[in-house]
Amino acid sequence: MAKIDYKQISKRVFYLILPVIFAFIVGAILIIISGHNPIEAYSAMFRGALVGKSALYNTLFSATPIIVTGLAISVAFKANLFNMGVEGQMYLGAFAAAYVGFTLKGIPTVIHVLLCIVAAIIAGGLFALIPGVLKGRFNVNEMVVTIMLNYVAILLTDYLTNFVFYSGEGYAATYPIEQSAYLPRFMKTSQLNFAFLIAIVMVCIVYYIFKYTRLGFEIKAIGHNVSFAEATGMNTRKKTIIIMVVSGMLAGVAGAGEILGVHHRFIAGFSPGYGWDGMTIALLGKNNPIGILIAALFFGILKNGGSTMELMVGVPRSLISIIQGLIIFFLAVDYLNTEFSFMSRLKLMFRRKVRS
Amino acid sequence: MIEAILHTSLRMATPIVLAALGGLFTHKANVLNIALEGMMLIGAFAGVIASFATGSIFIAIISAIVASMLFALLFNVFGITLKGNFIITGLAVNIFAAGLTSFVLQVAFGRRGVFSDPKIVGTTPIHIEFLDKIPFIGPILNNHSPMVYVSIIIAILVYFVLNHTKYGIYVRAVGENEEAAKAIGIKVNRIKYSTVYISAILCALAGINLSLGNLTMFVENMTNGRGFIALAAIFCGRGTTLGTYVFSFLFGFADSIQMRLQNLNIPGTFIQMIPFIFIVLVLSIVGAVRMIGNLDRGIKDE
């Protein structure tokens, strides 16, 4: 076993925290411009997210769906495939879970829940098969396809809830699922439910896949260098399809968790962009399942605390998405793997400016 | 009937055309510009705000361009100078633009989601006399907002610049072989920077067309994927100016069919899927055609 290089690790952690700090600083400037006190706003945010049992539970609850979407995206990202369709795959997964939830009746709870989740996995996987095949067979840019398919999935489920399975209750939702398909909650005052445990199980599964399986190795190989992987005899076309489908399956699980644990029925447009949040989280967690878990918990704090901040201090919640965008900016730059470090690159830039 | 559909197609296609022509420059310089969406959105937003504040459409256009250029600068610094991943940087621009517009809307104007006000001045449709005399083509081309005509002129300009100027050759050289371009003394980064700025200007015009052309209001996320549709148009058109224009128009056509079908008694959401499914189909067909006769069996890097 290799010796652990603490200096290297601390450097790596520092470069991961740096973007977050930058983003918060820019956020603070925006808060000042809008006429509020940034310290007050941020402390309201963290207090709202962390102080008290139910606040803590709600933070975990906010983190639940994005843990899984983060994992879904990381599987594809790691292979250098940009699956931007996690949002859509999640919608279809959620709908499939709801469908199984309200059509099957009189089944024991555990089996019903499992069936719902399996349905979601199948739906998400099948939907991801389309961009997978297009990329694998015809080398069509997967990013544009998956983004277009997002709209298709959202509109399709919208149609199904509004016309085919409309519950007639004034808002666009299907019939409620059977009680036997509910994921139980941990406590009455918080919506935190067993979906969180499912998310943790998914973290373990993805960790196992990455670390110990052939597929995990192949994902890494394709991500590093497709041509080399191809040259060593790997069927990268087939693997591309498989990776895409696995990513879609995970997205389906995220959808199922939301339906079975929170809404108990499919609601049109239920996701405020969990698929997109998953992308930030996959980046922040550096495609490492444990990192993703931590990143998702951090985002849970931002999300849950964001509403407290809006209520208490009056700073709009959209600040959170600004911070999110900024974090991605700073994360896009790979500070460690570029030939120069970030700082020396900056110095070089300034020196050039001075000279010219 | 057909004339009306084509008239609407041209109207719906215009923001896509403008964004796609902008994206074409970056595409030629081998910079994947996902940020089209965000630059369009911020252009639309800045245009509306400036129009609201000053009542001048000219100032609105200038502000849209400036705002869009600032976002292009972000893209350039993080994507090109600091060598970040273009896809990730571009998405950051999009998320940042979406967040910032709704933040400013709420902080400065106390609105959520939609910003409309009688004080906002939009562009007025242009009526061209001599087009009335031409049958069929006349009614299609006439009575559009000015950006529609601007987009046609820009398409011709882009064709000319890319194919018949030194700058165009430089851009293509950078896109085809960066090392070689560097070796003959082309300032690669400067060319890349400039292509992103050009796409920002065109995206700003596209945004203006969205928010001040047909409507005079800003709606959160009003670009609704048009930036990505523009990218699809570039891919489908194989990076040629004419191809890009034709596919942008086709996507506008799909949009206008969708709008027309909604008047019939078919559920709206079902119909709205048409343009998106159409794009996926076209992309697959173009991809399949490209594969035929291609002996390369691997997945090549983009």
Whether residue A345 is predicted with pLDDT greater than 70 in this model: the reply is: no
Q: Is A103 in the B-facing interface, judged by CB distances under 8 Å?
A: no
On whether the CB atoms of residues B239 and B79 are closer than 8 A, the answer is no
- With a CB-CB cutoff of 8 Å, which residues 8-37 of chain A face chain B? 30, 34-35
Question: Rounded to a whole number, what is the largest CA-CA distance in chain A?
Answer: 78
The closest CB to that of A318, out of B88, B92, B103, belongs to: B103
* Partners of residue A151 in chain B, C-beta under 8 Å: 225, 272-273, 276
Share of chain A above pLDDT 90, in %: 53
Report chain A's mean pLDDT, rounded to a whole number.
Answer: 88
* Partners of residue B92 in chain A, C-beta under 8 Å: 325-326, 328-329, 332
Counting one residue from A and one from B, how many pairs have CB atoms under 8 Å apart? 168
> Rounded CA gap, B14 and A131, in Å?
28
CB-side exposure of B90: number of CA atoms within 13 Å? 22
Q: Is B272 in the A-facing interface, judged by CB distances under 8 Å?
A: yes
- Closest approach of A346 to chain B, Cα-based (Å): 9
Which chain A residue is nearest to residue B298, measuring alpha carbons? A230
On whether the CB atoms of residues B39 and B71 are closer than 8 A, the answer is yes
The closest CB to that of A321, out of B85, B99, B107, belongs to: B99
Q: Is A152 in the B-facing interface, judged by CB distances under 8 Å?
A: yes
The closest CB to that of B107, out of A34, A148, A333, belongs to: A34
> Rounded CA gap, B171 and B186, in Å?
9
The complex scores an ipTM of 0.83
Question: Rounded to a whole number, what is the largest CA-CA distance in chain B?
Answer: 62
Whether residue A337 is predicted with pLDDT greater than 60 in this model: the reply is: no
The closest CB to that of A159, out of B74, B94, B267, belongs to: B267
| HEC letters along A57-118 | HHHHHHHHHHHHHHHHHHHHHHCCCCCCCHHHHHHHHHHHHHHHHHHCCCCCHHHHHHHHHH
* Partners of residue B34 in chain A, C-beta under 8 Å: 143
pLDDT for residue B302: 43
Q: Is A332 in the B-facing interface, judged by CB distances under 8 Å?
A: yes
pLDDT for residue B275: 85
Whether A138 sits inside 8 A of B284 (CB atoms) is yes
- Closest approach of A42 to chain B, Cα-based (Å): 16
A18, A134, A244, A328: best mutation site toward chain B, by most B Cβ within 10 Å?
Answer: A328
On whether the CB atoms of residues A131 and A145 are closer than 8 A, the answer is yes
Whether A332 sits inside 8 A of B89 (CB atoms) is yes
On whether the CB atoms of residues B21 and B244 are closer than 8 A, the answer is yes
Give pLDDT tens digits for A98-115.
999 999 988 899 999 999
* Partners of residue A155 in chain B, C-beta under 8 Å: 269-270, 272-273, 276
Q: What is the DSSP letter of A268?
A: T
Whether A145 sits inside 8 A of B283 (CB atoms) is yes
CB within 8 Å of B12: residues ≥ 6 apart:
B252, B253, B255, B256, B259
pLDDT for residue B82: 84
Whether A322 sits inside 8 A of B100 (CB atoms) is yes
Q: What is the mean pLDDT of residues A156-170?
A: 86
Nearest to A291 by CA among A352, A169, A183, A206: A206
Q: Is A350 in the B-facing interface, judged by CB distances under 8 Å?
A: no
Q: What is the pTM of this model?
A: 0.87
Of residues A295 and A338, more confidence is placed in A295
Which chain B residue is nearest to residue A163, measuring alpha carbons? B267
Whether A147 sits inside 8 A of B88 (CB atoms) is no
On whether the CB atoms of residues A76 and A82 are closer than 8 A, the answer is yes
Q: What is the mean pLDDT of residues A215-229?
A: 89
Q: Is A356 in the B-facing interface, judged by CB distances under 8 Å?
A: no
According to DSSP, the residues that pair with B126 across neighbouring strands are B144
A140, A225, A321: best mutation site toward chain B, by most B Cβ within 10 Å?
Answer: A140
pLDDT in tens, chain B (302 residues): 788 889 889 999 999 999 999 999 999 999 989 999 999 999 999 999 999 999 899 999 999 999 999 999 999 998 888 888 888 899 899 999 999 999 999 888 888 888 988 888 888 888 887 777 787 777 788 888 888 999 999 999 999 999 999 999 999 999 999 899 999 888 999 999 999 999 999 999 999 999 998 788 999 889 888 999 999 999 888 889 999 999 999 989 988 888 888 777 777 778 888 888 988 998 898 888 877 755 554 444 44
Domain boundaries, chain B: 2-224
